[in-house]
């Protein structure tokens, strides 16, 4: 099983930030309150969600969520869960926020 961050495409007339907020809510039920751009390459954006509200939940009535099998909080040190794209983003996040928060 591969674990990924919430994500997806950017809709027409939507900024990358708005797409992140929408995708997180659609895929996890969480409402993003504050985010920060972590990485951008080839029009692929990765954000660090600094704060959110709500309870994690999976809405299987949304067609976009059909391929999601499970939602789960994963510790940052549980490297076996992360794929070849996710792990480097986690490492980038760790280096970027070192000293600002405790992971």
Number of helical H runs and strand E runs in the chain: 2, 2
What pLDDT does residue 103 have?
45
Q: Using an 8 Å Cβ cutoff, are 36 and 100 in contact? A: no
pLDDT digits (tens, 9 = 90+) for 63-76: 889 888 889 888 87
For 35, residues 6+ apart whose C-beta sits below 8 A from its C-beta are 17, 20, 21, 47, 48, 49, 50
The pTM assigned to this predicted structure is 0.83
Paired tokens of 60: 């299987």
Q: Which residues partner with 44 through β-bridges? A: 41
pLDDT digits (tens, 9 = 90+) for 37-66: 999 998 899 999 999 999 999 998 998 898
Percent of the residues in the chain that have a pLDDT greater than 90, as a whole number: 47
């Amino acid at each position: 099983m591969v674990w990924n961050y919430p994500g997806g495409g950017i809709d027409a007339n939507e900024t990358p930030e708005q797409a992140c907020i929408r995708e997180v809510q659609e895929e996890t039920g969480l409402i993003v309150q504050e985010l920060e751009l972590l990485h951008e390459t080839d029009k692929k954006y990765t954000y660090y969600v600094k704060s959110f509200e709500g309870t994690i939940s999976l809405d299987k009535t949304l067609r976009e969520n059909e391929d999601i099998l499970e939602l789960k909080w994963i510790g940052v040190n549980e490297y076996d869960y992360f794929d070849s794209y996710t792990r480097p983003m986690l490492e980038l996040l760790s280096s970027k926020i070192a000293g600002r928060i405790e992971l």
